């Protein structure tokens, strides 16, 4: 039997310096989030589709060579063809240009709506949680009352009053009570954070309140906010669709996905393709934002990690 | 429990009062003449008489007090501005019968089918029934209701001619609108139920039941369903609101003479008294539905009552 020579063995000492060394590169919170999101195929696919949709709403109206409000009585209600990729509507307007132009309006409504409700909601919820006690009770009662009115009823009422002809007044009616959910959520999160040990530790170490807010509270609310924004955007697009359908939405010559779909709905039996494209865009946007929101929630919430 | 209910009822009344007040003053703050459409070409004297008839010559505060008094003592919401002599209360009651039937059907079907689909999806997790049901659920949440209604109308009425396109009166008229209206609820309940069941399935008492030799059917009915169904009660409130707003659209598409389509008509007519009345009616219905949901939940889940007491 062959013996293993002793020279083949070597004694290695434990290097205490080595044990303190960080083996892998340090990863910050946002890098970690991005890494997690990247591994979620559904969320990344949604993100890619969304980027394409947003990109198309920016350049799409100029691609087909037709203006979105150009009326052509010679070709009314045409099927999708080489000339008009998505067909034409009852006034002979090119649906391809219209769908992307409408998408721009819908996206603007969705994104500004979500941002407004995020900002207002965070401030309201933050104040409420910060002051606590009676102020908190009263502020939250107000939110409770506002939430207990059906949302679309409020939107309809305000639309009638402001006679929503422009995007601005429509945003007011859509966001007037839309921020309540965010406010509630931010307050809940803030209250939870306030009682955490590391906040206490920071206070005990003499960190200034402003720095606690900037360094600990806001970043920790940011994750729930991002998720709620990604769920709010399709919500606002959906509400606008509803408003357009009942005749209180975007007015011609301007248009939105909701306005396009509700106009096409009347001719649906004869020209189904007119409804198909705006409906597809609404559904696709809703779906991708929702799936992206799901993915973001999983990626952003450290508690969900194994 | 009594204290809890009294507190809830108190909040409900306060909420209702605030809604009525805000609706009233907002509608009265709209610039312009509410009678403009009919009083435009009339002589001055007749115009004044009209204003007197509707009490529009008085200050807003006086009108408000009168409105509240009539509403509380007689349930009277005034007269339609558009169609003189038509009582708002009567119109609402008449039309809400139709909407009520449609809504009730949609809620019952939505909850039942939604729960069944959710349970099936959870039991067949990551197999084709699950994928199929979740696909339907995603459609229900992402596609606007009027598009779903159009597709249903097109396929069942125009293509196959099985069911009537529009109309009201017979059972067959209610089938398509009910399906369209309940689609969103089915989707929400299916998703919600699926995650609830998945949570319950992993509990120890399910394992115990299995170990005891309870049949799979009984495990689903007695152990899983009972525990998973509880939180479903909480989303009935928002679902009812969804059914209301859905009915605005559905009733128009299917030509149903319900309150929803009437509400949209009065919005387009700018019939202010009608709008105030209907809004108050819808809000009241919704707030009451929410109250019932809260109380129900308090009854079935003792933890809610306990946490209320702590406050």
Q: What pLDDT digit, counting tens, does each position of A271-282 carry? A: 777 788 888 888
Q: Which of B75, B79, B98 is nearest to B87 (CA)?
A: B79
User: pLDDT tens for residues B205-227?
Assistant: 888 888 988 888 888 888 888 88
Query: Where in the sequence is the domain holding B230, given as residue range(s)?
Result: 89-269
Measured between CB atoms, which of A153, A245, A269 is closest to B146? Answer: A245
Is residue A48 included in any domain, yes or no?
A: no
Number of domains comprising chain A: 1
| C-beta atoms of B150 and A246 within 8 A | no
Provide the sign of the torsion angle of the four alpha carbons A143, A146, A149, A150, taken in this order. Answer: negative
Interface test with A, best of B19, B142, B262, B272 (most A CBs within 10 A): B142
Give the domain CATH number at A92.
1.10.3720.10
pLDDT range class, residue B72, cuts 50, 70, 90? confident
Q: Which chain A residue has its CA at the smallest distance from B290's CA?
A: A148
d(CA B52, CA A41): 68
Yes or no: say if A152 and B245 are a contact pair by the CB < 8 Å rule.
yes
Q: Which chain A residue has its CA at the smallest distance from B240's CA?
A: A150
The torsion angle over the Cα atoms of residues B66, B68, B69 and B71, rounded to 10 degrees, is 120
Q: Which chain A residue has its CA at the smallest distance from B11's CA?
A: A145
d(CA A188, CA A267): 47
The crossing angle, in degrees rounded to 10, of helices B60-74 and B2-28 is 140
Query: Where in the sequence is the domain holding A194, given as residue range(s)?
Result: 70-304
| C-beta atoms of A161 and B154 within 8 A | no
Beta bridge partners of A94: A88
Count of CB pairs separated by less than 8 Å, A with B: 100
User: pLDDT tens for residues A37-87?
Assistant: 888 888 888 889 889 888 888 877 777 666 666 666 666 666 766 666 666
Q: Which chain A residue has its CA at the smallest distance from B138's CA?
A: A287
Phi, psi of B154 (to 5 degrees): -65, -45
B147 touches chain A (CB under 8 A): yes
Å between B134 CA and nearest CA of chain A:
12
Tokens of B266: 């009065």
Q: Which of B56, B61, B59 is nearest to B39 (CA)?
A: B56
Q: Which chain A residue has its CA at the smallest distance from B254's CA?
A: A266
Chain B residues whose CB is inside 8 A of the A240 CB are none
d(CA A203, CA B176): 62
Å between A11 CA and nearest CA of chain B:
51
Question: What burial letters (b/e) apply to A4-41, b meaning 16+ CB within 10 Å?
Answer: eeeeeeeeeeeeeeeeeeeeeeeeeeeeebeebbeebe
Measured between CB atoms, which of B244, B264, B279 is closest to A157? Answer: B279
Chain A residues whose CB is inside 8 A of the B30 CB are 160-161, 163
Q: Which of A166, A294, A179 is nearest to A227 (CA)?
A: A294
Å between A124 CA and nearest CA of chain B:
20
Yes or no: say if B242 and B109 are a contact pair by the CB < 8 Å rule.
no
Q: Which DSSP category does A78 fall into?
A: P
Number of domains comprising chain B: 1
Q: Which of A54, A171, A188, A47 is nearest to A117 (CA)?
A: A171
Is residue A263 included in any domain, yes or no?
A: yes
Measured between CB atoms, which of B11, B30, B279 is closest to A153? Answer: B279
Is residue A250 included in any domain, yes or no?
A: yes
Measured between CB atoms, which of B30, B147, B253 is closest to A279? Answer: B147
Can you give the length of chain A in residues? 306
Question: What burial letters (b/e) apply to A289-298, b meaning 16+ CB within 10 Å?
Answer: bbbbbbbbbb
Residues of chain A in Cβ contact (below 8 Å) with chain B:
144-145, 148-153, 156-158, 160-161, 163, 234, 238, 241-242, 245-248, 258, 261-262, 265, 268-269, 272, 275, 279, 282-283, 286-287, 290
Tokens of A40: 């979620």
What's the mean pLDDT when you consider all of chain A? 80
Which of A20-29, B9-18, B156-165, B232-241 has the largest mean confidence?
B9-18
End-to-end CA distance of chain B: 15
Close Cβ partners of B243 (under 8 Å, ≥ 6 residues apart): B103, B106, B107, B110, B181, B185
* Residue matched to tokens 């399935």: B201
Instruction: Tell me whether the omega of the peptide bond preceding residue A253 falls within 30 degrees of 0, making it cis.
Output: yes
The crossing angle, in degrees rounded to 10, of helices B145-152 and A272-300 is 140
Is residue B293 included in any domain, yes or no?
A: no
pLDDT range class, residue B310, cuts 50, 70, 90? very low
Is residue A57 included in any domain, yes or no?
A: no
Yes or no: say if A267 and B154 are a contact pair by the CB < 8 Å rule.
no
Is residue B217 included in any domain, yes or no?
A: yes
User: pLDDT tens for residues B82-132?
Assistant: 777 777 788 888 888 888 888 888 888 988 898 889 888 888 888 888 888
Q: Which of B225, B241, B235 is nearest to B181 (CA)?
A: B241
Average pLDDT over residues A286-302: 81
Yes or no: say if A94 and A68 are a contact pair by the CB < 8 Å rule.
yes
User: pLDDT tens for residues A204-238?
Assistant: 898 887 788 777 887 788 888 888 888 888 888 88
Give the domain CATH number at B94.
1.10.3720.10
d(CA A182, CA A188): 10
Is residue A124 included in any domain, yes or no?
A: yes
Is residue B107 included in any domain, yes or no?
A: yes
Instruction: Report the alpha-carbon angle B137-A100-A289, nearest 5.
Output: 35
Close Cβ partners of B264 (under 8 Å, ≥ 6 residues apart): A246, A247, B248, B252
Chain B residues whose CB is inside 8 A of the A287 CB are 138, 142
Q: Which of A52, A51, A172, A179 is nearest to A115 (CA)?
A: A179
d(CA A193, CA A213): 11
- pTM over 0.95? The answer is no
pLDDT at B202: 83
Å between B272 CA and nearest CA of chain A:
10
User: pLDDT tens for residues B175-194?
Assistant: 888 888 888 888 888 888 88
Q: Which chain B residue has its CA at the smallest distance from A161's CA?
A: B30
Beta bridge partners of A88: A94
């Amino acid at each position: 039997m062959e013996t293993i020579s002793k020279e083949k063995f070597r004694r290695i000492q434990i290097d205490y310096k080595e044990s303190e060394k960080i083996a892998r590169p340090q990863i910050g919170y946002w890098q970690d989030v991005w890494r997690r999101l990247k591994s979620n195929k559904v969320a990344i696919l949604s993100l890619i589709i969304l980027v394409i949709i947003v990109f198309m709403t920016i350049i799409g109206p100029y691609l087909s060579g037709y203006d979105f409000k150009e009326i052509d009585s010679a070709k009314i209600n045409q099927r999708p063809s080489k000339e008009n990729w998505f067909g034409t509507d009852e006034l002979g307007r090119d649906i391809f240009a219209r769908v992307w132009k409408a998408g721009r309006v819908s996206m603007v409504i969705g994104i500004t709506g979500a941002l407004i409700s995020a900002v207002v909601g965070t401030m309201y919820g933050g104040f409420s949680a910060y002051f606590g006690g009676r102020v908190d009770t009263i502020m939250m009662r107000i939110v409770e009352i506002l939430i207990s009115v059906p949302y679309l009823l409020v939107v309809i009422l305000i639309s009638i009053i402001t006679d929503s002809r422009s995007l601005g007044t429509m945003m007011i009616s859509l966001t007037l009570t839309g921020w309540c959910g965010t406010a509630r959520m931010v307050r809940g999160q803030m209250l939870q954070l306030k009682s955490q040990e590391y906040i206490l530790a920071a206070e005990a170490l003499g960190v200034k309140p402003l720095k606690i807010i900037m360094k600990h509270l806001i970043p920790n609310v940011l994750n729930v906010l991002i998720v709620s924004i990604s769920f709010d955007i399709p919500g606002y697009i959906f509400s606008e669709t509803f408003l357009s359908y009942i005749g209180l939405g975007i007015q011609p010559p301007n248009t939105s996905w909701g306005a396009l779909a509700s106009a096409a709905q009347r001719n649906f039996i004869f020209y189904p393709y007119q409804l198909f494209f705006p409906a597809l865009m609404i559904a696709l946007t809703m779906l991708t934002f929702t799936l992206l929101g799901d993915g973001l929630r999983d990626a952003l919430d450290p508690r969900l990690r194994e | 429990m009594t204290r809890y209910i009294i507190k809830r009822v108190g909040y409900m009344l306060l909420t209702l009062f605030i809604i009525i007040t805000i609706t009233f003053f907002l509608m009265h703050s709209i610039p312009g003449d509410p009678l403009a459409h009919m009083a435009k070409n009339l002589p001055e004297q007749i115009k004044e008489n009209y204003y007197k008839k509707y009490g529009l010559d008085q200050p807003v505060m006086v009108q408000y007090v009168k409105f509240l008094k009539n509403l509380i003592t007689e349930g009277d919401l005034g007269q339609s501005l558009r169609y003189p002599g038509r009582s708002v209360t009567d119109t609402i009651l008449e039309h809400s019968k139709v909407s009520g039937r449609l809504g009730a059907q949609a809620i019952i079907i939505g909850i039942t089918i939604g729960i069944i689909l959710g349970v099936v999806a959870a039991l067949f997790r990551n197999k084709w029934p699950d994928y199929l049901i979740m696909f339907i659920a995603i459609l229900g949440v992402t596609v606007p209701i009027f598009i779903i209604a159009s597709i249903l109308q097109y396929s069942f009425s125009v293509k196959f001619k099985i069911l009537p396109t529009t109309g009201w009166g017979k059972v067959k008229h209610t089938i398509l609108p009910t399906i369209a209206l309940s689609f969103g609820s089915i989707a929400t309940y299916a998703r919600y139920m699926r995650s609830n069941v998945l949570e319950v399935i992993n509990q120890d008492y399910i394992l115990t039941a299995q170990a005891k030799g309870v049949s799979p059917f009984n495990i689903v009915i007695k152990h899983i369903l009972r525990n998973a169904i509880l939180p479903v009660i909480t989303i009935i409130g928002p679902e009812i609101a969804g059914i209301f707003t859905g009915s605005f659209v559905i009733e128009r598409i299917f030509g149903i003479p319900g309150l929803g389509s009437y509400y949209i008509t009065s919005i387009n007519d700018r019939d202010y008294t009608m709008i105030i009345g209907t809004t108050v009616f819808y809000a009241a219905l919704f707030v009451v539905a929410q109250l019932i949901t809260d109380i129900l939940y308090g009854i079935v889940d003792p933890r809610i009552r306990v946490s209320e007491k702590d406050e």
